[in-house]
Amino acid sequence: MAFSEGNLADHLGALSYSEEQIELMDVATNFCRDRSPIDKVRKLIEDEHGYDPAVWQEIVDLGWLGIAVPEAQGGVGLSMAEVAPIAEQMGRRLLATPFATCTIAAQALLAAGDEAQCAEWLPRIVAGEVATLALTEPHGDWDLGHVEATAKASGDGYVLSGTKQFVVYAQHAALVIASVTVEGAVRLALIERSAIPDSALRREIIIDETKRSYELTLDGITIPASALLDAGRSGTALTQIELASALLQAAEMCGGTQSAIDYTIEYLKTRKQFGKLIGEYQALKHPITNAYVGYEKARSHMLSAAHNFGQQGVGEIAVRMAKASADKAYSFAADRAVQFHGGFGFTHDCDAGLYRRSAIWHASQYGDAAWHRAKLADLLF
């Protein structure tokens, strides 16, 4: 879809808030601050779940899992624009939960699920049953259409084969949505956790220790034919998954960037060297100012992406710009946080390392800044 320069600027320059966004931002700000202090974040790194089930239940009770789900399926009937403020505050406080994976799984069902599939799973997701996605494969291609896992017809169902990586929170998920090829065509398959043997899941060691990620071996897992999502809408579903993921990650990264800057400035205002606060030195003032400018740019792009998410064509451009901008801003701010904390900035005891690891993790999921910029080039020129 082609856009004139003026038309595109009119769309991408819109940053208005809805009343719902403002209310959700206020609630999420206080909730994430109170439920995810940094000492609790560190404690959960050693926890099997990786998140607090009690906090998860509070999130369910607040109705956040149903924000972008139609009322007919037990949701609130709003949009992804209203989900973004919550993700931003979760990223700001490093609050680890399956919130993003559940939200994206719901979007996949809405994009390609039939009436029965949506009626069965969407209310369960809204009620707090964890859903996740298995889309990434060992070849490492961020193109979601590059699928080597297969589903072959066998009797009344299908037998799966292949390997998926970075299946977040799979151990405690009730539903895994995996991409497979059926007779050469990419489809999405609904796999109930009960059909996955424990031996098929292997905990992965990833850079961000606040997350839980698993490798999933699909070999031998069987699903009924009714578990395949609509063949004709698989492409649309994959696009919806990619854009929804990028929007939520951009929001989380903006929140993390804000925290990394706040954390660093607090240190610059208290640490003295040669009789002066180190924040008085221009060599430190200027980079942290640049980090803040980068944060404001990234947040503006993220708000534009949230506002335009449902706009065909413009929404994709806005989301890819937001992910690319947030990736760059978070990486820079977190890297400066490590550097400015000098001798202990890279150690486990310094919180700067948590933000740097978070920035690397988010960049690795669904495309980094360079990948999204390459996609933008195809869209804009």
Q: What is the dihedral of CA 18, 24, 29, 34, to 10 degrees?
A: 170
Place of tokens 């505050």: 89
What spatial distance separates the first Cα and last Cα of the chain, rounded to whole Å? Answer: 11
Relative to beta strand 185-192, strand 201-203 is unpaired
Contacts for 29 with CB less than 8 Å, ≥ 6 apart:
89
What Å distances lie between residue 363 and 81, 84, 295, 306, 360, CA to CA?
21, 17, 16, 19, 5
Distance separating alpha carbons of residues 30 and 48, to the nearest angstrom = 26
Q: Which two tokens stand for residue 254?
A: 């903006």
Burial tier of 123 (Cβ tally within 10 Å: 0-12, 13-18, 19+):
middle
Distance separating alpha carbons of residues 309 and 79, to the nearest angstrom = 9
Relative to beta strand 185-192, strand 175-182 is antiparallel
No. of H helices and E strands in the chain? 12, 11
CB atoms within 10 A of CB 16: 9
Burial tier of 361 (Cβ tally within 10 Å: 0-12, 13-18, 19+):
buried
Is residue 131 within 8 A of residue 106, CB to CB? The reply is yes
What is residue 17's predicted lDDT score, i.e. its pLDDT?
Answer: 75
What is residue 311's predicted lDDT score, i.e. its pLDDT?
Answer: 87
Distance separating alpha carbons of residues 325 and 250, to the nearest angstrom = 8
Nearest in space to 173 (alpha carbons), one of 127, 129, 239 = 129
Nearest in space to 326 (alpha carbons), one of 350, 288, 291 = 291
What is residue 18's predicted lDDT score, i.e. its pLDDT?
Answer: 82
pLDDT in tens, 195-222: 999 999 999 999 999 999 999 999 999 9
Sign of the dihedral defined by the CA atoms of residues 231, 235, 237, 238, in that order = positive
What is residue 23's predicted lDDT score, i.e. its pLDDT?
Answer: 92
Relative to beta strand 150-154, strand 157-161 is antiparallel
pLDDT block averages, 10 residues each, the chain of length 381: 60 72 94 98 95 98 97 95 97 97 97 96 98 97 97 96 98 97 96 97 96 98 97 93 97 98 96 91 94 98 94 92 98 96 88 97 96 93 81
What is residue 174's predicted lDDT score, i.e. its pLDDT?
Answer: 98
